[in-house]
Amino acid sequence: MSLVGKKAPSFKAGAVINGGQVIADFSLDQFIGDKYVLFFFYPKDFTFVCPTELHAFQSRLEEFKSRGCEVVACSTDTEESHWGWLQMEKKQGGIQGVTYPIVADTSKTISMNYGVLAGDYDYNDEGQTVATGPMIAFRGLFLIDKKGIVMHQLVNFFPLGRNVDEALRMVDALKHFDENGEVCPADWSQGKDAMKATRDGVNNYLATH
């Protein structure tokens, strides 16, 4: 399922912000009209590849913020699990020092609505609801513009970690497009020449956004 070009699914859920503050009703809607959002999912707390990604995004957090982009993470773990992991030092496998919000998708509905839930619900012969997979999130990443539209989507299987440089490049490309009305060709990076939009679809987008 691709969400590119569509409104990012809205939600309200518990989250841990600022490295340890638990809140009940976190929503990406707070950023509409003001910020880009890089919203990424990871499979589970207290695992191996996941902390490397969360620390990698934290180490570049100011670079995202300088571009007007907020970073938000999400997994199907609870707020309490997120909070506990945030108390563990990096050398022990923890994510202490991560300050961007981490959403608790305990109902699995956020992951499901974004198309990254590994598994589904079915019914057994007794009519009971059963899970058909691990019911955790793939490594999904969504770049959302200031109008709340998904502009970039990437989904990796569990063993494959993501590239923060590439995520920053995509933010740069979106920002350049918004500010200059130019499209970004293959291997484009900030400072390189872009191209004037000529295709009808891009021109229509420019005319209506």
Domains in the chain: ranges and CATH: 13-162 (3.40.30.10)
| 69 labelled catalytic | no
Mean of pLDDT values over 77-91: 97
Question: Does residue 204 register a pLDDT over 80?
Answer: no
Neighbours of 196 (CB within 10 A): 9
Q: What is the value of pTM for the model shown?
A: 0.92
pLDDT of 12-68, one tens digit each? 999 999 999 999 999 999 999 999 999 999 999 999 999 999 999 999 999 999 999
Bigger pLDDT: 182 vs 72: 72
**In sequence order, which residues have a C-beta less than 8 Å from that of residue 197 and are 6 or more positions away?**
181, 182, 183, 203, 206
